């Protein structure tokens, strides 16, 4: 049977991927969204490791201040970069944090090993660190290998506002690249409140 090109997706899977990413088989296929056919094959190249620049004194001071805003039991979403890493490194004294994020990096893995992140207070996906991808050192990849407390979900789940809103005490840790303070905000649609029906 000929498969139309627009319905085919071929991927190369590294043999060194943690078990969370790929099965033991060298070749696999499955039907994805929109009846797209995904075909994968294993290769022997090592995984790319992400090693962030070491935190400087200013990043650590900011990280200490921001870490004070995070409460025991909060569910966190974390971006990557020196500031989020500095904030994560200052969360060692917290308890029962949860994770619902795109990224699982070295800082989250370290806090999971120290039992700071245990996901026991999460409103949904209790007991699970829910993420879409992992980027870090080999030690982090080794830690997530076949780890039952980590659940990889698609971006349309981790970034869905309706899913995120179900978490009580959700806290996002990211770096703002730019803030414009002259009457500029980003909204997709702002309704005219005068046109809404009164109740």
| Structure confidence by residue, pLDDT tens digits, 107-134 | 999 999 999 999 999 999 999 999 998 8
d(CA 190, CA 159): 21
Distance CA(140)–CA(144), nearest Å, equals: 6
Pairing outcome for strands 103-104 and 75-78: unpaired
Query: What average pLDDT is seen over the chain?
Result: 77
Q: pLDDT tens across 43-91, in order?
A: 566 777 777 666 688 889 999 999 999 999 999 998 877 888 889 999 9
Q: Which residues are catalytic?
A: 102
Domains annotated on the chain, with CATH: 5-43 (no CATH), 57-173 (3.30.750.70)
For the chain, the residue count is 199
Exposure class string for 143-172: b at 16+ Cβ within 10 A, else e: bbeeeeebbbbeeeebeeeebbeebebbbe
Q: What is the pTM of this model?
A: 0.71
């Amino acid at each position: 049977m000929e498969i139309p090109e627009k319905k085919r997706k071929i991927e190369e899977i590294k043999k060194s991927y943690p078990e969370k990413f790929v099965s033991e088989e060298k070749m696999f296929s499955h039907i994805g969204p929109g009846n797209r056919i995904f075909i994968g094959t294993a290769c022997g190249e090592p995984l790319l490791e992400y090693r962030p620049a070491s935190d400087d004194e200013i990043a650590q001071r900011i990280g200490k201040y921001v870490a004070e805003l995070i409460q025991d039991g909060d569910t966190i979403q974390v971006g990557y970069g020196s500031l989020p890493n500095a904030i994560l490194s200052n969360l060692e004294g917290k308890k029962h944090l949860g994770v619902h994020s795109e990224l699982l990096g070295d800082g989250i893995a370290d806090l999971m090993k120290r039992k700071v992140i245990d996901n026991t207070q999460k409103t949904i996906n209790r007991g699970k660190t829910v993420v879409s991808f992992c980027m870090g050192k080999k030690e982090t990849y080794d830690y997530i290998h076949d780890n039952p407390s980590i659940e990889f979900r698609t971006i349309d789940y981790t970034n869905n506002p309706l899913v995120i809103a179900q978490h009580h005490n959700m806290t996002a840790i990211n770096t703002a690249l730019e803030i414009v303070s002259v009457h500029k905000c980003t909204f997709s649609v702002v309704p005219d409140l005068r046109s809404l029906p009164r109740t």
